[in-house]
Structure 1
């Protein structure tokens, strides 16, 4: 039996986020940016807020959703 293909992470972002904590790789895939950009956002505190679980960085889907909403509303109010 073939393993089902994982959906496009950007489609997940449009259709609703998964019910699990997201990895930096997930964030990079969703936003279509290099992984290093995600780490730069974290260092500069400009991207979605992440948190550490031991040595691993994770992102809460509700925080990512809020970040996207904030960016969209900021863009609309600037126009």
Structure 2
């Protein structure tokens, strides 16, 4: 099964950061786009990848 959405814990593991950081980013209206469905927060994989691409830096 291919995941098309990640929850807060899954994304925090992907990025090796605290889930609380993602909570703060949502409160500050920064970070990747997210969905809130029935009280659950989900991040679409396409939005995560777009956020990663927008924040990538070249070395050198």
Task: Please give the range of the TM-score, normalised by the shorter of the 2 chains.
Answer: 0.7 to 0.9
**2:53 equivalent in structure 1:** 69
Judging by fraction of residues, say which structure has more helix.
Answer: 1
Corresponding residue SS for 1:58: strand
How many residues get paired?
58
For the pair 1:26 / 2:10, whether they are aligned, the reply is yes
> RMSD across aligned C-alpha pairs, in angstroms?
1.5
Q: TM-score, normalised by structure 2?
A: 0.84
Larger RCO of the pair (alpha carbons < 8 Å, separation 6+)? 2
Q: TM-score, normalised by structure 1?
A: 0.66
Q: Bigger shift: 52-61 or 38-47? A: 38-47
Structure 1 runs (4+) deviating above 3 angstroms are none
Long gaps (5+) in structure 1: 1-17
Deviation string for 1:37-73 (max 9, x for gaps)? Answer: 010111112211111111000000000000000001x
Long gaps (5+) in structure 2: none
